[in-house]
């Protein structure tokens, strides 16, 4: 799969399934930082899984894939302490809108 100009190998089994996404915010436009992004709330089990993977593969590159679309990559550099992940601050608005639409289409469950 190509992510930008990089070719990456994707595992057949995802590290986190779509059921680990608890909530997806609307697109946030931060006027101070001059970026737009989405907040994605990960379940406590998903957070635990990501931290176990980080311990096993520190500084490994991960790819965010949804419906066979590589939406971007990230590197976990330290233990994750908050279940909220900011997604898309480093992509253009059109790409962010596509990511948002795909996440919303997957219909994550609402937080309790």
Residue 66 lies in a domain: yes
**How far is the C-alpha of 85 from the C-alpha of 74, rounded, in Å?**
11
Distances (CA, A) of 62 to 10, 29, 59, 75, 83: 9, 25, 9, 6, 17
pLDDT score for 27? 95
Q: What is the CATH number of the domain that holds 69?
A: 3.30.1360.200
pLDDT digits (tens, 9 = 90+) for 100-109: 988 888 765 5
pLDDT digits (tens, 9 = 90+) for 23-73: 999 999 999 999 999 999 999 999 999 899 889 888 777 877 777 777 777
- The number of folded domains in the chain is 1
Structural domain of residue 43, as residue ranges? 2-105
């Amino acid at each position: 799969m190509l992510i930008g100009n990089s070719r990456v190998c994707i595992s057949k089994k995802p590290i986190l399934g779509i059921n680990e996404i608890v909530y997806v915010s609307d697109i946030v436009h931060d006027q101070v930082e001059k970026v737009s992004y989405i907040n994605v709330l990960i379940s406590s089990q998903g957070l635990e899984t990501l931290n176990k993977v980080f311990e096993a593969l520190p500084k490994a590159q991960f790819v965010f894939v949804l419906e066979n679309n590589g939406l971007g990559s990230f590197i976990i550099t330290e233990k994750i302490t908050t279940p909220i992940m900011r997604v898309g601050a480093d992509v253009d608005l059109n790409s962010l809108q596509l990511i948002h639409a795909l996440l919303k289409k997957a219909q994550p469950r609402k937080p309790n």
